Structure 1
Amino acid sequence: METMTSPFVKIRRDLHQIPELGFQEFKTQRYLLNYLQSLPQEAIEIKKWKTGLFVKVNGKNPRKTIGYRTDIDGLPITEETELPYRSLHEGNMHACGHDFHMSIALGLVTYFAKNPIDDHLLFIFQPAEEGPGGAEPMLKSEIMQEWKPDLIFALHIAPEYPVGAIALKKGLLFANTSELFIDLKGKGGHAAYPHQTKDMIVAACSLVTQLQTVVARYVDPLDSAVITIGKITGGTVQNIIAEKARLEGTIRTLSVDSMKRVKDRILSLIKGVEIGYECEVSVDFGSMYYQVYNEEKLTEEFMDYMRNHTDIQVIECKEAMTGEDFGYMLREIPGFMFWLGVESEYGLHHSKLNPNEAAIEKAISFLTKYIEYKGNR
């Protein structure tokens, strides 16, 4: 790990200690505000939105507004690193790199607050990316409608790539995602009298097996989809047949049409389980994140700029089954998202994630140059 030399590394470490869940980012918002208010205010306008922030840097001769989005929430994960600045919030951790994202965004705001360009800049500090989803309601807010950018971009750290490298592609980058919660209710009873009960452990296990046929038999083999059941709960003790059971999972697809087909098939399977196991089943698809689709012209321009004007390694990557609610913003505003390499042994959402902090200054440096190029022409 790099020795701390940058003020934005210190900021990252401060933020790493106070991870907060979606729409609970009160300390985080306060920290961001305190820092932003310490900058020269001549060109800056700041507006709160729930636990997030909009920060506008007014241009000198504006023709357009360039948007940059960062997410600010953490995850309900107990940190298992030995870092001296590990999480002080027991059970929560910045295990997806949003502390990196925020420190990079603050580095950009700092530079442009002191060195405004021709065009307006809008920095969006978005809560609840990990859930229940902050991008879509933030996009619909009055502030966004007033300050809506003409183009927008964002980054996400990637532990698998070299420090400071960027990886992206034109078109689809991240999948459509949906939560999946299924509750089954039957009739409990004594383990010795199964014929007098409706066993929801058996029904739930059967349904899990049936769900695995959805992708194999109802999705085009040339398309891609995933159904993962990550949690099963049910029952009380070993000698009581369970009256209730609950499945929790996620759905990922590379097309909007496939998401609809998968959900329709799940609903059909549930009807069959209700009949076959004489029970009641309810389903909740929770929050859905729209695919991240990079606008081709802007993405190609960004890649060309990085190749021709910086020493940054540019990697053309494949699409991934990860989800990001930034997709809602890209559905309405032309733009792109890219991966930023941070070279960590452990991956995203891991309790030992430890990204290389050298990536912070690298990202601030090349993004400052790109925004100046984009906003002065």
Structure 2
Amino acid sequence: MMNVIELRRDFHRHPEVGFTEFRTASKIVGILQSLGYQVLYGDDAMDADVRFGVPSEQVFKDTYENVAKDLGEQADLSKMKGGLTAIVGILQGHVEGPTVAYRFDIDALPVAESNEIDHAPAQLDFRSNHQGVMHACGHDGHSAIGLAFAKNMADKNFAGTLKLIFQPAEEGGRGAYAMVKKGVVDDVDRLFCFHLGMGLPSGEISAGVNDFLASTKLKAFFKGVSSHAGCAPEQGRHALVGAATALLNIQALPRYSTAATRINVGTLHGGNSVNIIPAYAEMELETRSNSPEVNEELEHRVRKIIEHSGIMHDLEYGIEVIGKTTIAHCDSDMMTLVEEEAETMADIKHVRKYHSFGAGEDATFFMNHVQKMGGQATYMVIGSSLKAPHHHEKFDLDEEVLPVAVQLLTRLAKRTLQ
């Protein structure tokens, strides 16, 4: 088996945030091609026009040029310009049969990784070499599992079609929708998604999850008029005050008695000097709920608050959707398959049917579309004991679970591709 731990450590050293995963995607493309997979990437794997939260052209230019300089200009890299970092590996079995897909997310987070000696990546010299960016959620492990699994299946000793979906920009709910719209799961009969950790210890797995949260991520801007804060404050229109008004009222929205809800304003930026009335401010925020209808209502109320905060302070304002997730359900037959295979594996000590997820996941767009087209889907949690929670500077996986995950995926593929 391909060394899944070495792969994981390589990805961990070179983290890249959503839609800038140029090195990661290039490596995945190269390995899949070397294994004999047909590989779709660039605009063949996603619809660029319906992506959420796309970085600026300058960010793309800087990150792409840095990777191209390190790797050398390659055909597979050039097709990814502009953040087209989605990949689909396709392998045809020796006879006709069903189409079974697996989804792996590949992006990192804007978190500065700990360099303390009790943090294993620092101690063992595979800490992030990108300042302010790290794999703090386990997607390095997901990507490595996907490639080791691809190697296990490369002999084509199965019936049907295997699809491996390597998705960018899961964080913030930004990448899956554009791949769905490109049609990459239109023909899928069964879809397996998974996440490492998520509160389950090593040796446990969950065949499915519940409590996905629908979410909407918004960026709002306020534009006013700058003026001298001392001698002409009345001539200015204070964009930061408008944004602050919106922030306080958004955070004050009531919670619901009929559904779980979350609201958070995560960023607020404005102004550039202590003695200037700020002419511009922007904020990023999210709404979440386990009810899509409630989340839609929360978003509506947030939009009204932004609008009226702008009007109140005589400001121009605007709102952009920068991310989105929805809810999904796991099919019972799929969970039974997972349970049956996992229960025969010596390294898995306990198998649950459900695990409460309690977060947003844009894999839900893949799941819902597969089910809409007549297929089935599930989302597994593969336990990994963690030294720190997800999105923490000391987050690290239990690497011993990686080959176990590869084995489980391989068994599921052999079971369903026949």
TM bucket, shorter chain: 0.7 to 0.9
| Counterpart for residue 153 of structure 1 | 192
Question: Secondary structure at 2:356's aligned position in 1?
Answer: coil
Instruction: Supply the AA of the counterpart residue of 1:158.
Output: G
| Counterpart for residue 80 of structure 2 | none
Verify the 8 A CA contact 2:339 2:351 in the aligned structure 1: no
Inter-partner Cα distance in structure 2 for 1:188 and 1:168: 56
Verify the 8 A CA contact 1:69 1:123 in the aligned structure 2: yes
CA, structure 1 residues 35+274, in 2 after alignment: closer, same or farther (shift >3 Å)? closer
366, 382, 386: which is aligned to 1:344? 386
| Counterpart for residue 102 of structure 2 | 68
319, 330, 335: which is aligned to 1:300? 335
Inter-partner Cα distance in structure 2 for 1:63 and 1:129: 30
Question: Secondary structure at 1:31's aligned position in 2?
Answer: helix
| Counterpart for residue 353 of structure 1 | 395
Verify the 8 A CA contact 1:159 1:343 in the aligned structure 2: no
Inter-partner Cα distance in structure 2 for 1:6 and 1:45: 19
| Counterpart for residue 26 of structure 1 | 22
| Counterpart for residue 73 of structure 2 | none
Structure 1 position 373 matched with structure 2 position 415: yes
Verify the 8 A CA contact 2:172 2:217 in the aligned structure 1: no
| Counterpart for residue 233 of structure 1 | 269
Inter-partner Cα distance in structure 2 for 1:347 and 1:77: 13
Verify the 8 A CA contact 1:164 1:358 in the aligned structure 2: no
Inter-partner Cα distance in structure 1 for 2:291 and 2:198: 26
Shift of 1:100: 0.4
Shift of 1:248: 1.4
TM-score (normalizing by structure 1): 0.86
| Counterpart for residue 356 of structure 2 | 318
Question: Secondary structure at 2:159's aligned position in 1?
Answer: coil
Instruction: Supply the AA of the counterpart residue of 2:223.
Output: K
Residues 14-44 of structure 1 deviation map (CA, whole Å, 9 limit, x = unaligned): 12122223333222223223333443x3xx4
Question: Secondary structure at 2:274's aligned position in 1?
Answer: coil
Instruction: Supply the AA of the counterpart residue of 1:281.
Output: Y
Give unpaired runs (5+ residues) of structure 2.
46-83, 116-121, 371-375
Instruction: Supply the AA of the counterpart residue of 1:200.
Output: A
Residues 285-331 of structure 1 deviation map (CA, whole Å, 9 limit, x = unaligned): 2222232x1333234313531464335222332241x2222111111
Verify the 8 A CA contact 1:58 1:116 in the aligned structure 2: no
Inter-partner Cα distance in structure 2 for 1:239 and 1:51: 43
Verify the 8 A CA contact 2:216 2:299 in the aligned structure 1: no
| Counterpart for residue 163 of structure 1 | 202
Structure 1 position 108 matched with structure 2 position 146: no
CA, structure 1 residues 235+140, in 2 after alignment: closer, same or farther (shift >3 Å)? closer
| Counterpart for residue 288 of structure 2 | 252
Give unpaired runs (5+ residues) of structure 1.
none
Inter-partner Cα distance in structure 1 for 2:23 and 2:342: 39
| Counterpart for residue 46 of structure 1 | 39
Shift of 1:196: 4.6
User: What percentage of residue pairs aligned between the two structures are identical?
Assistant: 28
| Counterpart for residue 214 of structure 1 | 253
Inter-partner Cα distance in structure 1 for 2:184 and 2:377: 19
